[in-house]
Amino acid sequence: MENSKNSNIVQLVLVAALVGAAFYIGSLSSKVGKLEEANKGTGVPTQAAGEPATFDSVALASSLGLDSGAFKTCVDNRDTKARVEEEEKGGQSAGVQGTPGIIMFDTQTGNSVVIPGAVDPTTMQLFLDNLLAGKDTTLGTQTIKLGKVENLIALNDADYVRGDKSARVLLFEYSDYDCPFCKQVHPTLQTLLDDNAGKVAWIYRQFPLDQLHPTARSKSEAALCAGKIGGNDAFWAFSDALATL
């Protein structure tokens, strides 16, 4: 009899707990729904718990003054996808294996230096100074030597360039818009450009890492379309915006 009473009590407690949980979930769902509704039309991405935020490339393109219809058509165009693949293969041919893949090339001497990841602004400047001086760079116990990067595709009319194309040093960045280290180094490269006006040109090439960042390729395609429709400045404005997401 005692066991039966205890069993009934346990059942009542479980029922009460389930009712309370259902009420909480319903309340939470309602709040999320209201939040998503409030964000509609504001450009603020919404997301479910545990899922990556969605990205509205059309909204960003429109905010930059680009024609949304032409932008959508471009993103769906096979030529755009092929362009991303072409830049990606070019990076692989040059030995790029991860992002950011940064290569500084001295057009006067033919020397290059491969930057080991997202270094800080002071170290980035050191690499540039040593490249111009024809010197290797030592970081702690590691020495990064000057050399020749085989199969690096030369600057061409299809490239999007920030800075003077006739600059002595060309900085090729193979990058992934969802890569956290790429986002980290983006302002560093801008600082390098600002501090060395006329000496350095920054060339951005697409290198999405699909296995790590499933949405990076679509962002690469979107950025290229921004450039195709709005020109070089639009490409860089779009890329700057992606670097802050």
pLDDT at 3: 44
Same domain? For 91 and 153 the reply is yes
Domain, as residue range, for 11: 2-54
Domain count, the chain: 2
Same domain? For 32 and 151 the reply is no
Q: How far apart are CA 239 and CA 204, in angstroms?
A: 9
Q: How far apart are CA 137 and CA 108, in angstroms?
A: 19
Same domain? For 40 and 145 the reply is no
Residue 190 domain flag? yes
> Half-sphere exposure (CA, 13 Å, Cβ side) for 190?
11
Same domain? For 24 and 78 the reply is no
Question: Which spans in 40-169 are helix H?
Answer: 57-63, 68-75, 78-93, 121-133
Q: How far apart are CA 105 and CA 132, in angstroms?
A: 10
Same domain? For 32 and 112 the reply is no
Q: How far apart are CA 145 and CA 81, in angstroms?
A: 35
- Whether the pLDDT of residue 34 is over 80: the answer is no
pLDDT digit string, tens, across residues 174-199: 999 999 999 999 999 999 999 999 99
Same domain? For 21 and 120 the reply is no
pLDDT at 181: 97
Same domain? For 104 and 188 the reply is yes
Same domain? For 128 and 198 the reply is yes
Same domain? For 34 and 76 the reply is no
pLDDT digit string, tens, across residues 94-116: 999 999 999 999 999 999 999 99
Structure tokens at 243: 């670097």
Q: What is the pTM of this model?
A: 0.78
Residue 212 domain flag? yes
Cis peptide before 45 (omega within 30 of 0): no
Residue 225 domain flag? yes
pLDDT at 14: 52
Residue 61 domain flag? no
Same domain? For 210 and 134 the reply is yes
**Nearby residues of 189 by Cβ (< 8 Å), 6 or more positions away:** 102, 124, 171, 173, 202
Same domain? For 72 and 49 the reply is no
User: Does residue 55 sit in helix, strand or coil?
Assistant: coil
Structure confidence at residue 55 as a pLDDT band (50, 70, 90): confident
Residue 88 domain flag? yes
